[in-house]
Amino acid sequence: MQIHATLVDATAARLIAAGVCGGNIAKDRDEPADMSELPIAIVHVMADKARADGGPRTGVPDFRHELALCVDVYAKGQSGAGVKGALYAAGEAVLQALLTDAAWLAIGDGVASIEQSYLLPKEGDYITSGLRIELVVLHASVWHPSTTGLPDFETAAIGVDLGGGVSVGAEIELPGE
C-alpha cells in the first residue's frame, strides 16, 4: 500500500533531520551485524491490521487500519547503564521528532498507541542493546470495484409496457466524466 512506503520514508527523513542516532537511519533492513554501524535506527512496517468499516457483506470494501510502524534503535557502550541511557535518550528523541511534526502526523488519521520494548543487553567487547518503538498509526482504505472491460454507458433506455400494445419509454444521455 502507498501509505506504508510514504510513512517509512517520511519517518526516516524526519529522524535524520532531528539527528537521531547521529543521522544514521536505515529503512526496511535487518539489524546491524557490524558494531561500527552503531548507533543506528531502522524504520519499518511490522503489520497492518484492517477491519471492515461498516457491513462487510454490503457495498464497496471499506477498512479502518491499525498500522504498526516500528523504529528499532541499536546502541553500544561500555556499561549496561550507559547503553540503557543512550536508548532512553534515543527513544525520547524519536517521539519528540515524530509527535511534534504536524506534516508527519497528517500522513495518517492519528496515532492510537505507542509501545517501547527494550532488549536485554548483550555482553562482549562492548555491551549492545536495542529498543523497539512501535507506533500504531490509524488510516483508512476504500477499494472500489474495477470497471475494466465493461462498456462505457453513454445512454440509458427505460421502457414500460402498459399492456394492450401501449408502451412508454425514454432514452437518457448520461454525463461524461
Tell me if residue 151 falls in helix, strand or coil. coil
Containing structural domain, residue 117: 2-142
Residue 149 lies in a domain: no
Task: Report helix, strand or coil for 146.
Answer: coil
Number of domains in the chain: 1
What mean pLDDT is reported for the chain?
89
| pTM for this predicted structure | 0.78
* pLDDT tens per residue, range 69-82: 999 999 988 888 88
In angstroms, how far is CA 54 from the centroid of its own chain? 22
Q: In CATH, what number is assigned to the domain containing residue 92?
A: 3.30.70.1700
In a domain, 35, yes or no: yes
Please give the Cα distance from 44 to 9 (Å, whole number): 9
